[in-house]
């Protein structure tokens, strides 16, 4: 059993959730805020069998995209860059000892 914890841009979250449902996977979405840019994103939790992980990762890959965002003031000054690149998704895949669904 695996637990996938995915952090995605808020603009991609609806597409990811729809893609997961179409593929037959259940997921829980939480609105979260990143510490670096202080911007909203979504954290999506998926419990799955190990053999389903590659398919789930493909759903995330197909439904997310890289974003550009205005850099925070200090970073903008230090780097001279007005924007920063935000990856499409950050996904943690953890071994899950047990999983119950009632």
CATH number at residue 32: 3.30.70.120
Backbone angles phi, psi at 33, to 5 degrees: -125, 130
Q: How confident is the model at residue 45 (pLDDT cuts 50, 70, 90)?
A: very high
- pLDDT of 1 reads 93
For 67, the domain range is 2-95
Condensed to tens digits (0 to 9), the pLDDT of residues 59-91 reads 999 999 887 776 666 665 666 666 666 778 999
N- to C-terminal Cα distance for the chain? Answer: 17
Average pLDDT in the 15-36 region? 92
Strand-pair partners of 102: none
Average pLDDT in the 41-69 region? 93
Contact partners, residue 95, CB within 8 Å, separation at least 6 = 1, 2, 3
100 within domain boundaries: no
**How many folded domains does the chain comprise?**
1
Backbone angles phi, psi at 24, to 5 degrees: 85, 20
In this prediction, what percent of the chain has a pLDDT beyond 70? Answer: 80
Alpha-carbon dihedral 75, 84, 44, 65, rounded to 10 degrees: 180
């Amino acid at each position: 059993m695996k637990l996938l914890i995915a952090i995605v841009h808020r603009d991609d979250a609806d597409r990811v959730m729809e893609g997961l449902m179409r593929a037959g996977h259940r997921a829980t979405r939480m609105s979260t805020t990143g510490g670096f840019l202080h911007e909203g994103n979504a954290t999506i939790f998926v419990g799955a069998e190990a053999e389903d992980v590659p398919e789930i990762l493909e759903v995330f890959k197909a439904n997310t995209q890289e974003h550009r965002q205005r850099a925070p003031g200090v970073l903008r000054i230090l780097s001279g860059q007005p924007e920063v690149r935000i990856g499409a998704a950050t996904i943690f895949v953890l071994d899950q000892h047990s999983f119950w669904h009632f």
